[in-house]
Amino acid sequence: MVDILRKADGLKKSKSWRKNKLNLKEQLLMALEYLREYRTYFHKWVEDTIVKHQNFALPGRVKL
């Protein structure tokens, strides 16, 4: 993956002169971590639906 980014970065740098603050490995790591943590709307809908159902409701503070 880094090799692919390195080739694309070489083409990009020929068009601009600004230097990146992060190296390519750090940029790739940030992108992969973001994609790993990104939750789709479907996942959020499933979680919200289950939490609202009475079988999965937690008792209030008084009962605890």
Question: What confidence tens digit (pLDDT) does each residue in 32-60 have?
Answer: 888 888 778 888 888 888 888 888 877 77
Q: Which residues contact 9 (CB under 8 A, 6 or more apart)?
A: 20, 24
- pLDDT tier, 13 (very low <50, low <70, confident <90, very high otherwise): low
> What is the chain's mean pLDDT, rounded?
81
CA 22 from centre of chain? 18
Residue found by looking up tokens 């790739």 in the block: 28
Picking from 19, 25, 21, the residue whose alpha carbon sits closest to that of residue 1 is 25
> Within 10 A of 47 (CB to CB), how many other CB atoms are there?
11
Q: In this predicted model, which residue has the larger pLDDT, 10 or 8?
A: 8
Calculate mean pLDDT across residues 2-22: 76
